[in-house]
């Protein structure tokens, strides 16, 4: 039996459903999700191992027009994944028309000369007639390796997607142990879960000016003790995050503790602090310090 393995970069605009797709394919939460653009900041590999293949899916930040240095770094992280992968899985929102952002991504794809699969997401929101029209419109844009309609949220057509992707993977040995599902450690996953809860609890009040740094982690008496620092870039945001009589930070802490307890299978005590680092998203040193720039300097 021929064994296949390779890297597949999941790319697309912000909010197209990249992280939802990764979690659905792995049947486990590896990437955090929210309805806010640029929730994903790091390239996160999700590893799916089958008896005859190993898929290494790389969830990337949404490619967008950056407003700060952080945005430029996020785009750079996505471009690195595109260049290093064996094939591309470009996920688009089937309910949205082709726009400037898509045109920009398409130019990048054309320059790479790699197999590119177009995944038309959110088909559960389209009638059959509309879906056919959307697929035909995309077919005229580029000579894709294949166009696959999916619903990442409803897990529709994902088995078919894996079959098609497998054919494009190179022959080779498994690159990761069978039990491994992500290339990021538990500390990274911990800070991401905390950040997800911040985005969920604060709604529109705290934009993407938040970073989370794990300061301390220790196991004691069967309990996991965690201390994390939440970084914001304005004093007003610190006030919002803490909330009236500490109500907002308490809700974030309790929500994060609950998920971390389920993840690690033990009681979790989480302490959260908030620090202001003015304009950190435009400071390269801070972006590196908070673990968001995965590249070496050019």
- The pLDDT tens digits of the residues spanning 115-172 come to 999 999 999 999 999 999 999 999 999 999 999 999 999 999 999 999 999 999 999 9
* Token representation of residue 137: 């419109």
pTM (2 d.p.):
0.86
> Residue 281: pLDDT band by 50, 70, 90 thresholds?
confident
Residues 84 and 161 in one domain: yes
**pLDDT tens column, 13-57:** 988 999 999 999 999 888 878 777 778 878 889 999 999 999 999
Quick one: pLDDT at residue 204? 67
Q: Is 75 annotated as a binding residue?
A: no
Q: Is 61 annotated as a binding residue?
A: yes
Q: Domain range holding 123? A: 4-168
Report the C-alpha gap between 65 and 189 in whole angstroms. Answer: 27
Q: Which of 168, 198, 231 is the last residue of a domain?
A: 168
Task: Tell me how many domains the chain contains.
Answer: 2
Q: Is 130 annotated as a binding residue?
A: no
Residues 278 and 191 in one domain: yes
Q: Is 194 annotated as a binding residue?
A: no
Q: Is 298 annotated as a binding residue?
A: no
Q: Is 6 annotated as a binding residue?
A: no
Q: Mean pLDDT across the stretch 189-205?
A: 88
Residues 161 and 197 in one domain: no
Query: For residue 236, what are the contacts with CB-CB under 8 A and spacing of at least 6?
Result: none
Q: Is 242 annotated as a binding residue?
A: no
Q: Which residues of 105-123 are buried (b: 16+ CB within 10 A; e: fewer)?
A: bbebbeeeeebbbbbbbbb
Residues 148 and 20 in one domain: yes
Q: Is 63 annotated as a binding residue?
A: yes
Residues 231 and 271 in one domain: yes
Q: Is 84 annotated as a binding residue?
A: no
Q: Is 78 annotated as a binding residue?
A: no
Q: Is 108 annotated as a binding residue?
A: no
Report the C-alpha gap between 218 and 249 in whole angstroms. Answer: 22
Vertex 243, ends 242 and 248: CA angle to 5°?
80
Q: Is 121 annotated as a binding residue?
A: yes
Residues 28 and 80 in one domain: yes
Q: Is 12 annotated as a binding residue?
A: yes
Q: Is 18 annotated as a binding residue?
A: yes
Q: Is 190 annotated as a binding residue?
A: no
Q: Which of 168, 201, 234 is the last residue of a domain?
A: 168
Q: Mean pLDDT across the stretch 250-268?
A: 96
């Amino acid at each position: 039996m021929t064994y296949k393995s390779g890297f597949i970069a999941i790319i697309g605009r912000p909010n197209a459903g990249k992280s939802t797709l990764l979690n659905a394919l792995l049947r486990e939460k590896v990437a955090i999700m929210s309805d806010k653009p640029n929730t994903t900041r790091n390239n996160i590999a999700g590893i799916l191992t089958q008896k005859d293949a190993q898929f290494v899916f790389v969830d990337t930040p949404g490619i967008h027009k950056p407003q700060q240095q952080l945005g430029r770094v996020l785009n750079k992280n996505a471009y690195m994944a595109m260049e290093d992968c064996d094939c591309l899985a470009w996920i688009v929102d089937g309910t949205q028309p082709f726009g400037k952002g898509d045109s920009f991504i398409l130019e990048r794809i054309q320059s790479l000369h790699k197999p590119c699969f177009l995944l038309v997401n959110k088909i559960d929101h389209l009638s059959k007639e509309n879906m056919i029209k959307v697929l035909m419109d995309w077919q005229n844009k580029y000579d894709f390796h294949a166009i696959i309609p999916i619903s990442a949220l409803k897990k529709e057509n994902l088995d078919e997607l894996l079959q098609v992707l497998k054919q494009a993977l190179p022959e080779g040995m498994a690159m990761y142990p069978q039990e491994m599902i992500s290339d990021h450690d538990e500390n990274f996953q911990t800070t991401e879960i905390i950040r997800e809860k911040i985005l969920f609890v604060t709604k529109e009040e705290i934009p993407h000016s938040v970073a989370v740094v794990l300061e301390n982690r220790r196991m004691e008496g069967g309990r996991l003790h965690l201390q994390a620092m939440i970084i914001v870039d304005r004093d007003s945001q610190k006030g919002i995050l803490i909330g009236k009589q500490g109500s907002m930070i308490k809700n974030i802490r309790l929500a994060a503790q609950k998920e971390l307890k389920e993840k690690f299978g033990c009681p979790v005590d989480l302490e959260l602090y908030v620090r202001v680092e003015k304009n950190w998203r435009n400071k390269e040193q801070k972006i590196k310090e908070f673990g968001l720039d995965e590249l070496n300097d050019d």
